[in-house]
Structure 1
Amino acid sequence: MNNYKKSTSLFFKRFILIILMYQLSRVLFYLINFKLLDTFTFQTFLGGLLFDFTAVSYINLIFLIAHLIPGRFKYTNRYQLIVKIAYYLVNLLFIATNFIDIIYYRFTGRRSTFGMITAKGMQHEAIGLIPSFLQEFWYIAVVFIILSILLWKMIPDLNGTSFTKKLIKKDYYKKTVFLAVGVTLLMILGRGGLQKKPIRIVDGIKFGSITNTPLVLNTPFTIIKTFIKKDDLEKVSYFDSIELKKIYSPVISLKTTKTPDKKNVIVLILESFGNENIGRGQTPFLDSLITKSYYFKNGFANGKVSIDAVPSILSSVPSLMNNSFISSSYSVNKINGLPKILKKEGYSTSFFHGAFNGSQNFDQYAKVAGFDQYYGKDQYIGPEAFDGKWGIFDEEFLQFFSSKLSSFQEPFFSSLFTISSHNPYTIPKKYIRKFPKGTTRIQESIAYTDYALRRFFETAKKQNWYKNTLFVISADHTSSGDRNTDKTNIGKFRIPILFFDPSNPDLIGVHDKNFQQIDIMPSILDYLNIKAEIVSFGKSYKVKDDFVVYYLEGTYHYIDGDFYLAFGNNKTIGFYKWKEDTLLKNNLMKRNTFKVKEAEKFIKAYIQSFNNRVINNQLTL
C-alpha cells in the first residue's frame, strides 16, 4: 500500500502543478489585456481558481485512473514514462489554448469555444494567420516555450517503489475503493461542487464585474463545456404561448399599399470597422459618406466575431449562444433571409468574400441562405493581389466586385465582406506609409480599406446601375479600441451602420435610434415596399421600437432607449442609463425596480422566442 500512497501523492502534486500553470496564464492574460479589463480582485482570483479546478479535473480524470488503477504493472519505468509524457502533452495542449486567448481575446472579446476553433474553414485561416501572430506577439510564444520547458522539468516522478509484495484480493479491493473515492472527488471538482447543476460559462459573472468574466474563466473550460454541449440552447418556458406573443413575437408583417421598388441592393460588410475607428482620421471616405446617408450613430453588432455578423445582417438571426449560429448544427435550419425573399421578387443574388473559398464557412452559409452565386478568392479575376496570407486585397477585390455587378441582370442583391482590416492587417507594399498609423495597430489597414471603398464608389458611380441602388454598410464587429468607453459591454458592440441611396436625397441624417445588425433585413424590405411576413429578431427602422439584444459569454445584453440591462444566470446583474453613464459605473438595478422588471420581462420573452424557434427549426413561417 506504500507504493499506492506514493502514486496518489504523485498525482496530487502533478495536479496542483497544472493549477499553478493556469493561474500563471491568468496573470499574463490580465497583464497583457488590463486596459480591456477591470481590476483583478481577490474575488476574481477565487472564481478563477474554481474554474481552473473544474477544467483541470475534467482533463485529468483519465490520468487519475492511470495513476491509481490497481496493479503492479504501473510501477515499471516504462509505464511511468508513458503516463508522464501523455500527462505533459495533454495538459500542455490545453495550457496553450489559454496562451492563444491572451492575444485572441482582444479581437473577440470572449474566451474561445469549441465551435470557434473547429468551424469549417478555420484550419485554413490558422495556417495563414498563426505565423503573423507569432511574429507580432513573439514574446507570448517565448514565455510559452519557457513555461513548457519548466513544466516538463517540474513534473515530479515516482521514486523509491518496490515490487517485493505480491498483491492479493484484499489489496485489489482496497485500492479499487481508493480509486473510486478519487474519481468521485475529481468529478465533484469537475462539476464545480455539490450544487444542483455543474458550473457553466455564465457562472463566471458571479465572481466580479461583467467585464472581468473572461478573466475568471479559462479557455480549456469554455472549450470543454461547448464540446460536451455543442449546441447550448435550452428550451425555456417563462410564459405560455398567448402571453409570450403579447410581450414579444419575432413574426413581422411588412404591409404596404405602394408598388415594390425594385432597386438593386448592395450590402457591404466591413471587417472590424467598429465605432472606435470612425471619425478619427482613418476613415475620411466613410466619414464623408455618413453625411450623405441615413446613419445610425447608435449602431450595434449582434456578435463579436465575423461569423456572427453574416446571419445577423442577411437573415436577421443573431447568435444568442456560446457557439456561433453559423458553426452550430442549427446552421442547416431553414431560414428565410434576404437572398430567398428578394429572389422571389425577381432579384439575382450573390455573395462575395475575398478570402480563400471555405473561409469561415461563408460559402456553405451562402448555399443555405439561398444565394445564387458565391465569389471567393478562387473566382477572382484581375491583377495579382494575393495578400500572402488568406485572400485578395480589398482594393482589387472591390474592383472585381464592381465589374461583376455590371454583368448581373437587374435587379440584383449582392453582399461583399472585406478582409484587409483583419489580422495580420496586411496592406499592399505600394501603400506603406501612405495612410496614418493611428493609435492602434489595426488602424492603418482600416485606412487602406476606407481608401479601397472610395475607389469602389468612384468606379460604381460610372455604372448604369449605380443610381438605382440602395447601399447598406455595416461593420461586422468592433476591433480593439484604445478608449475607456471601448472596453465596456456597450462599447464592445458599437459599430457604424448606414443606408445610402444616391437617388433619394430624403434618406439622410444622423439618427439616435438604437439599431442593430438584425434590423438591417426588415429595414431593407420595408424601404423597398416589399410585402412580407417573416421571422426576424430585429425590427424595421420605421417602427418606434428602440431595442437591441446581443449575447456574450453567458450574459444577455438588452438596450431599450437610454437603458441597458445585463441579464445572466436567470437574473438581472446590472442596469444602467448608458448614454449618460458611458463607463457603466452606476448600477441602478436596486433603485429602478419597476423598469428592471419591465426589461426582464422583455428579455425573457426574447430568449424564449429565440431558443425555442431555433431548437424547433421554426425560423421560417
Structure 2
Amino acid sequence: MSIDLFLYSYWNTRLDTTFLRYLNTPELMFASVNMSEILTSLLGFAALSHLTFRIINYLIYNELEEMDGAPLWSLPILFLMIGVLILPIRGGLQTIPINQSNVYFSNKIYANHAAVNYAWNFMHAITKHVDADQNLFVEYPPEKALTLFDTYRKPLLLSDSIQRPIFNTQKPNVILIIWEGFTGKIVGPMGGDSLITPYFNKYIKEGLFFSNFYANGDRTDKGLVSLLSGYYPQPKKSIIKMPMKSKKLPLLSQSMKLMGYHNSFYYGGDLNFGNMNTYLHNKGIDEIYGSEIFERKDWNSKWGVHDHVLFDRIIEDLKQNKQHPFFKTILTLTSHEPYEFPGKYRFGKNSETNKFKSSMAYTDKAFGDFVAFAKTQDWWDNSLIIITADHGHPLPKNQGEVFNAPSRFKIPMLWLGGALTNTGVVNDNLGSQVDLAYTLIDLLGGDNSSFEFGTHLFNSNEKQFVHYVFNEGFGTINNSGHIVYDFIKKDAIQVEGKEEEILKSQGKAILQTTYQDFLDK
C-alpha cells in the first residue's frame, strides 16, 4: 500500500509490475521518494502490523483453549468454502471476470484510479497480459496496420522546408544535452514561467527553437531509446532493459561513427540503472563515462553528481580535446526527485513544486555557464549544441490538466551554435523524440535508413503527427487536435478537435505496428 501511495504521485498509475524493472538497483528506485515518505511508510506498516496482531490475539488466540477440535466431516466444507471464494475474486458468475473497467465511473481519471484496488491491480498485472509475449494491441490485420503506419509516415520523410540549408558547414561538432524532466511547462516562450530558465530562454533568440516538440514516453529509459535509437517506447515494458532486444536497435552514435565522428557519452549517475550500460556498449561510442569518474563528495544523496560538476568535467575534457569532428551526449540528473543541489533554492523548498522549479533553475545556470564557455572556444563556429529532455514532467501542475495530457509530454528542443545558418528561428512543426536521429543524420549527409520510425522535422506537410505512450494508454496529436486514450476504459479520456475517430485509428495502428516490431526483435 505504501509503495502504491507514494509512487502514484510520481508515476500516475496504480501499483503494477513497473517497479519490478528497477529491483536490480533498489537504491535508485527509492530515489523517487524522499526520506519522510519512507519513514511514514515504515511507521504506518509497523502500526498496522501491531494493530492486526492485537486484534487476532484478542479474537482468536485467547479462545483457542476453549475450542474443540473440528470433526473430520468439516474438511469437505472447508474446501468448498475455499472454492466459493473464487466467485468474489472473479466478481460473480458472469462470462467475463471483473477488471479495472468495472470500477471506472468518472470522466476524471484520478477518481477512476482511486476506485481500483491496488492489491488486486498488482496481482492482475503479474498474472495477466502485462508480461505476455504476444501483441496486446491488435486492432487490425498485421498487413493493414503496417500499411496504415506507412501511409502516415511516408509523406513526412523528406526535408522540404524553406529553412534549409540548416548548417553552414558540412560536418559540425555535435553536443546533445538530454536534460532530466525538462518540461515545456517551465519555459517562458512555451507559456511557462519566464523566471525559471532565463538562460535557456535567452538562447532561444540565438538558435533554432522547436516549439511543438514532444517526448514519446514518460521515463528516462524510454526517452533515451526514442532520442538515440529513433524507436517508439512500449507501455509497461522497456526495451532498454532487455539486452537481447536492445542490442538490435540502431544508435545515433553508430551512424555518427560511420561519418567519422569521435563519440562520447557522459552521465553523472550509475550507468547500470535501467541497463543503460548494456544498451550503450558496442554501439560506436568511444568513451562512456558514469558516476565512477567523480568523487563521492560531489554527489547528491540519491542519483549521482550535481549537474554543474558534470558540466565542469566535460569542459575540462573539451579543453584537452584534439579529435574533430566530435559527438558528445550528456545526460543530466539534478532535476530528478529529490531535487537536491548545492546553493540557494531560488523558489524555495517548501513544496515539491518549488523544489522542482528551483532544481530546474539550478540546471539552467549550469547549462548557461557551459554555453558561455563553448562560445569562447575555437570549435564553436563549427559546432551544434542540441538541448532537449528525456521526458516531460507532471510538475508544475496546471489547473484542470488531465493525467497524461499532451502538456505533460511537451518538451523544449533548441539547436544552438556557430554551425547554424540562421538564428532566432522557430520551427513550429509537430515532432517528437523519435524524429531527431532520422533528421540529424539526414542533415549531416549520412544514411538514416536504420531509423525506421522517425520522420523529418523539416518537412512542411500538414499531416505531421506525434504519438506517445504511458502505462495505461497513449496520446496521438495532429495539427487538428489530439486524443488521450485509456486502455482500461477502452476509449478516449480527453479529446480536442473534431478528428477523434481518425486519431484513435492512427494511434492504434502506430501502437500495434511498433509493439509488434518490439516483439519481433
Identify the TM-score tier after normalising by the shorter chain: 0.7 to 0.9
Match of 1:395 in 2: 308
In structure 2, the residue corresponding to 1:483 is in which secondary structure?
coil
Match of 2:2 in 1: 96
2:79 is equivalent to residue 176 of structure 1: yes
Code of the aligned partner of 2:5: F
Larger helix proportion of the pair? 1
Contact in 2 for aligned 1:273/1:479 (Cα 8 Å): no
Deviation track 1:106-153 (CA, whole Å, cap 9, x = no partner) reads 3333335423343265313256x38x7124786666656544544444
Match of 1:362 in 2: 276
Which of 295, 307, 313 is residue 209 of structure 2 equivalent to? 295
Quote the offset at 1:283 in angstroms: 0.8
In structure 2, the residue corresponding to 1:355 is in which secondary structure?
coil
How many residues are paired up? 494
Quote the offset at 1:613 in angstroms: 0.7
Match of 2:176 in 1: 267
Contact in 1 for aligned 2:486/2:493 (Cα 8 Å): no
Task: Quickly say closer, same or farther: Cα 1:329–1:377, change in 2 above 3 A.
Answer: closer
Quote the offset at 1:359 in angstroms: 2.9
Q: What is the CA–CA distance in structure 1 between the aligned matches of 2:260 and 2:102, rounded to whole Å? A: 49
Q: What is the CA–CA distance in structure 1 between the aligned matches of 2:220 and 2:478, rounded to whole Å? A: 25
Which of 406, 421, 437 is residue 521 of structure 1 equivalent to? 437
Q: What is the CA–CA distance in structure 1 between the aligned matches of 2:23 and 2:282, rounded to whole Å? A: 15
Deviation track 1:530-552 (CA, whole Å, cap 9, x = no partner) reads 23313443322022242111122
2:372 is equivalent to residue 468 of structure 1: no
Q: What is the CA–CA distance in structure 1 between the aligned matches of 2:229 and 2:508, rounded to whole Å? A: 22
Which of 391, 395, 409 is residue 493 of structure 1 equivalent to? 409
**Percent of counterpart pairs with the same letter?**
21
Deviation track 1:180-236 (CA, whole Å, cap 9, x = no partner) reads 333x335424xx874436626x77756543454543335444543443355356425
Q: What is the CA–CA distance in structure 2 between the aligned matches of 1:536 and 1:231, rounded to whole Å? A: 25
Which of 196, 205, 224 is residue 310 of structure 1 equivalent to? 224
Unmatched 5+ stretches in structure 1: 1-94, 579-591
Task: Quickly say closer, same or farther: Cα 1:606–1:285, change in 2 above 3 A.
Answer: same
Match of 2:447 in 1: 531
Q: What is the CA–CA distance in structure 2 between the aligned matches of 1:175 and 1:409, rounded to whole Å? A: 77
Q: What is the CA–CA distance in structure 2 between the aligned matches of 1:286 and 1:521, rounded to whole Å? A: 22
Task: Quickly say closer, same or farther: Cα 1:153–1:466, change in 2 above 3 A.
Answer: farther
Match of 1:108 in 2: 11
Q: What is the CA–CA distance in structure 2 between the aligned matches of 1:248 and 1:294, rounded to whole Å? A: 29
Q: What is the CA–CA distance in structure 1 between the aligned matches of 2:313 and 2:93, rounded to whole Å? A: 57
Contact in 2 for aligned 1:271/1:475 (Cα 8 Å): yes
Task: Quickly say closer, same or farther: Cα 1:604–1:504, change in 2 above 3 A.
Answer: same
Counterpart mapping for 1:427-506 below 5 A? 427-428=341-342, 431-432=343-344, 435-437=346-348, 440-476=354-390, 477-484=392-399, 488=403, 489-506=405-422
The root-mean-square deviation of aligned C-alpha atoms, in Å, is: 3.5
2:234 is equivalent to residue 320 of structure 1: yes
Match of 1:615 in 2: 519
Match of 2:467 in 1: 549
Task: Quickly say closer, same or farther: Cα 1:112–1:351, change in 2 above 3 A.
Answer: farther
Match of 1:217 in 2: 116
Quote the offset at 1:358 in angstroms: 1.9
Quote the offset at 1:494 in angstroms: 1.9
Match of 1:350 in 2: 264
In structure 2, the residue corresponding to 1:311 is in which secondary structure?
helix
Match of 1:558 in 2: 476
Q: What is the CA–CA distance in structure 2 between the aligned matches of 1:151 and 1:472, rounded to whole Å? A: 56
Larger RCO (alpha carbons 8 Å, 6+ apart): 2
Q: What is the CA–CA distance in structure 2 between the aligned matches of 1:485 and 1:505, rounded to whole Å? A: 41
Which of 481, 504, 512 is residue 600 of structure 1 equivalent to? 504
Match of 1:582 in 2: none
Task: Quickly say closer, same or farther: Cα 1:140–1:171, change in 2 above 3 A.
Answer: closer
Task: Quickly say closer, same or farther: Cα 1:152–1:516, change in 2 above 3 A.
Answer: farther
Task: Quickly say closer, same or farther: Cα 1:167–1:525, change in 2 above 3 A.
Answer: same
Task: Quickly say closer, same or farther: Cα 1:501–1:186, change in 2 above 3 A.
Answer: same
Contact in 2 for aligned 1:274/1:494 (Cα 8 Å): yes
Match of 2:96 in 1: 196
Q: What is the CA–CA distance in structure 1 between the aligned matches of 2:54 and 2:108, rounded to whole Å? A: 37
Task: Quickly say closer, same or farther: Cα 1:292–1:329, change in 2 above 3 A.
Answer: same
Code of the aligned partner of 1:116: F
Match of 2:246 in 1: 332
Deviation track 1:467-510 (CA, whole Å, cap 9, x = no partner) reads 32222211222142143265551222222122223222425422
Contact in 2 for aligned 1:120/1:360 (Cα 8 Å): no
In structure 1, the residue corresponding to 2:176 is in which secondary structure?
strand
Deviation track 1:274-316 (CA, whole Å, cap 9, x = no partner) reads 1222222121111111222222222222222222211111112
Task: Quickly say closer, same or farther: Cα 1:371–1:417, change in 2 above 3 A.
Answer: same
Match of 2:496 in 1: 577
In structure 2, the residue corresponding to 1:558 is in which secondary structure?
strand
In structure 2, the residue corresponding to 1:457 is in which secondary structure?
helix
Code of the aligned partner of 1:248: F
Contact in 1 for aligned 2:268/2:304 (Cα 8 Å): yes
Task: Quickly say closer, same or farther: Cα 1:337–1:194, change in 2 above 3 A.
Answer: farther
Task: Quickly say closer, same or farther: Cα 1:468–1:97, change in 2 above 3 A.
Answer: same
Q: What is the CA–CA distance in structure 1 between the aligned matches of 2:104 and 2:234, rounded to whole Å? A: 17
Quote the offset at 1:612 in angstroms: 1.0
Q: What is the CA–CA distance in structure 2 between the aligned matches of 1:324 and 1:218, rounded to whole Å? A: 25
Structure 1 length-normalised TM: 0.70
Deviation track 1:22-53 (CA, whole Å, cap 9, x = no partner) reads xxxxxxxxxxxxxxxxxxxxxxxxxxxxxxxx
Task: Quickly say closer, same or farther: Cα 1:387–1:153, change in 2 above 3 A.
Answer: same
Quote the offset at 1:409 in angstroms: 2.5
Q: What is the CA–CA distance in structure 1 between the aligned matches of 2:369 and 2:254, rounded to whole Å? A: 30
Which of 427, 437, 441 is residue 511 of structure 1 equivalent to? 427
Q: What is the CA–CA distance in structure 1 between the aligned matches of 2:219 and 2:447, rounded to whole Å? A: 32
Contact in 1 for aligned 2:438/2:448 (Cα 8 Å): no
Quote the offset at 1:175 in angstroms: 3.0
Match of 2:162 in 1: none
Q: What is the CA–CA distance in structure 2 between the aligned matches of 1:485 and 1:527, rounded to whole Å? A: 40
Q: What is the CA–CA distance in structure 1 between the aligned matches of 2:431 and 2:93, rounded to whole Å? A: 42
Code of the aligned partner of 2:314: F
Unmatched 5+ stretches in structure 2: 160-164
The structure number with the bigger radius of gyration is: 1
Match of 2:332 in 1: 418
Task: Quickly say closer, same or farther: Cα 1:203–1:603, change in 2 above 3 A.
Answer: farther
Code of the aligned partner of 1:97: I
Code of the aligned partner of 1:264: N
In structure 2, the residue corresponding to 1:452 is in which secondary structure?
helix
Deviation track 1:73-117 (CA, whole Å, cap 9, x = no partner) reads xxxxxxxxxxxxxxxxxxxxxx2222332xxx3333333542334
Contact in 2 for aligned 1:254/1:530 (Cα 8 Å): no
